[in-house]
Amino acid sequence: MGERSAGDVRTADGAAEIGRRVLRLRTERGLTQRQLAEPAYTAAYVSTLESGKVRPSEAALRHLAARLGVSYEELTTGRDPHDAVRLRAGLTDARKTLATGDAKDAAALFEELMAQAERLGFRDERATALVGLGDCAQETGELAAARAHYEAAEQLLADEPLPRRVPAIRGRAVAHFLSGELRYSCYLLESAIDELNASGLHDPNALLLLYTASIAPYMDMGAHARAARSAELALALAPSVDDPGLIARLHRGVARTLIAEGRTAEADASLAKAQELYEQLRIHTDLAHCHWMRGYVHAQDGNLERAERELSIARDMLASKRATLYVVQVEVELADVLRRRGRTAEAEALLLPLLKRSTGDGEPEAAADGVAGDGGAAGDGGAASGLTAETGAVHAGGAHRLLGLIAEERGDAATAEEHYRAALSLLERTGAAGDLADLCRLLGDLLRRAGRAEAAMDAYRMGLGHRAAPGTTTLGPAPAEPPV
C-alpha cells in the first residue's frame, strides 16, 4: 500500500504517533489511564503506549478504540472513515459534472478533492482525482497537462495491482494518441494488456478499457486486423462488465472496425446502441462522439446530408462543453462533407482558422511551415484553439489535405502542393500509413500533371513504401489474448 505512514504501528514513528493520538483522545474525553485500560490492561501499559515506548497489538488497539468511542481505523490512521465516504461521493459528483457539464467546472471540483485527499492522507482517492483532472485537461485540449496528471496518478499507485493503474495508463495512451503519437499510444496499451494477461490479472473492466482505447490508434495506423481483434475481444468481455459507460464506449469502438470492413449498417446499429446508453447516462462528450462517428458512417455511405446533420450536432454538443480539441477535429470532417456537397467556400472558411496563428498585430496568418501556430497549444499548458503537430496531427494533416484538394479544384497547383507537403510532414511522425499513402498519390498526380515526372515518381514510391508498411506497433507480435 505504498510508503508506510507515520501512523503505521509497525514503525517506531507510527507507534509514537498512535501514542500521541491515544493521549489526545483520552484527555478530550476526561478519562484516566486506569479508566481507559480496564479491564483488559493496566494503567502502566497505557502510560508506556502514550509515550511511544511500546508497539501495541491489534487487540490492544481495538480495545482502546472501543473505550475511546472511535473506530479502529480512525485510531490507527488518524483518519475518520466517513471522510473517505465523503471524498468518494465528491469524486462521483465531479465525474458527473465532467460527463454532463463543463470540464473546467469539473476540474475545479477535482482540484479541491485532490487537496482534501492529500491533507487527509487518502492516497487512492487522490489518485482518482488526478485521473479526473487528466480527463478534464484532455477534453479541453491541454494534452501536456493531461499526461502530467495521469503520470502522477500512476506514480501514486506504483505498488498497487495493475488493474488499479489501468485508468491512468489508458488516459496517458489516449493523450499520446491525440498528440499524434500513435505507435507510443499502442505501446502503452499493448504493454499493459500483456502484463495483465501474463500475471493472470484478467480483470474484465481493465481489459475492456485497454482494448477499446487501442481501436482508434490501430485504425489510424492502418492496423485494421488488430483493431478488429481488439473489438472482438472487447465484445467477448462485455458480459462480464456491469458499467454501462464502458459498454457504450465498447460499442463506439467496435463501430470503427465495422466501418473499415464496409459494414456500415452494422456500424450504425452499434453506434445507436452506444448513443442510447449515453443518453441514459447523460454523458455528453461521449454522446457527441457517437453523433460524430454516425456522421462519418453516413459520409462513407455517400449520405452527405445526414452526415452534415450528425457532424453539426456533434460540433455543437462539444462546443457547449468547451471540448476545444474535439470541436476542431469534428470541424475538419464537417469541412470534408461540405466540400463534397460543392460548398467549397464554406469548407475553406471552416478550415483556414484551424491552421492559423496570431501575429504581433493581432491579424491571423497561415503557419509558414504547414504546422499551426501556438494558439494555446498543449505544449504550453493552455487549451488548444487550433490544430497543431502536438494537438491533433492526424486532423491537422487532414485539414491541409482538404485545402490542397480545394486549391486543385480552383486551379491553384502551387498552393495545393504546399498543403499536400505540409500534410505529409505532419503525418509522417504519426504512422498513419493509409493517410500517408493517399497523400503521396495526390501529390504524385499533381506533380505528374505539371510535367514533373521525376518528382511524381518519388512521391509515388514514397506512397508505396507507406502502403507496404505493416501498420503495427514497434512491439512486433500482437499482445497476448486473455482466456475469455
* Cell 504581433 found at: 360
Domain count, the chain: 2
Model confidence at 235: pLDDT above 60? yes
Model confidence at 376: pLDDT above 50? no
Interatomic CA distance for residues 332 and 398, integer angstroms: 7
**Of the residues 23, 44, 78, the one at which a domain ends:** 78
In the structure, what pLDDT confidence band is assigned to residue 470 with cuts at 50, 70 and 90? very low
pLDDT at 484: 46
pLDDT at 12: 62
Running DSSP on this structure, what letter comes out for residue 187? Answer: H
Greater model confidence, 387 or 370: 387
Interatomic CA distance for residues 56 and 79, integer angstroms: 18
462 found inside a domain: yes
Domain limits at 31?
12-78
Across residues 1-23, what is the average pLDDT? 65
66 found inside a domain: yes
pLDDT at 407: 95
**Of the residues 78, 102, 132, the one at which a domain ends:** 78
Between 127-141, 152-166, 205-219, 234-248, the lowest mean confidence (pLDDT) is in 234-248
249 found inside a domain: no
Q: Give CA 399 to chain center in angstroms.
A: 23
State the amino acid at position 145 in one-letter form.
A
Which three cell numbers, joined as nine digits, stand for 84?
473517505
CATH number, domain at 424? 1.25.40.10
Interatomic CA distance for residues 437 and 91, integer angstroms: 45
Interatomic CA distance for residues 357 and 338, integer angstroms: 24
Highest mean pLDDT among 80-89, 257-266, 300-309, 466-475: 300-309
Structural Rg of the chain based on CA atoms: 28
187 found inside a domain: no
Which three cell numbers, joined as nine digits, stand for 186?
499502442
Across residues 40-65, what is the average pLDDT? 90
141 found inside a domain: no
54 found inside a domain: yes
Greater model confidence, 142 or 10: 142
Could you report the per-residue pLDDT of 326-373, keeping only the tens digit for each?
888 899 999 999 999 999 999 999 999 888 632 233 333 333 333 333
How much of the chain, in percent, has pLDDT values that exceed 90? 37
State the number of CA atoms in the 13 A half-sphere of 66 facing the CB: 9
CATH number, domain at 55? 1.10.260.40
426 found inside a domain: yes
pLDDT at 6: 40
In the structure, what pLDDT confidence band is assigned to residue 467 with cuts at 50, 70 and 90? low
Model confidence at 453: pLDDT above 50? yes
455 close to 477: Cβ distance less than 8 angstroms: no
**Of the residues 78, 100, 135, the one at which a domain ends:** 78
Checking 105-109 for CB contacts under 8 A at 24+ apart, the result is: 106/132, 106/136, 107/132, 107/133, 107/136, 107/137
Full-model pTM: 0.69
Closest CA to 55 of 28, 69, 76: 76
29 found inside a domain: yes
Greater model confidence, 104 or 386: 104
Which three cell numbers, joined as nine digits, stand for 38?
480496564
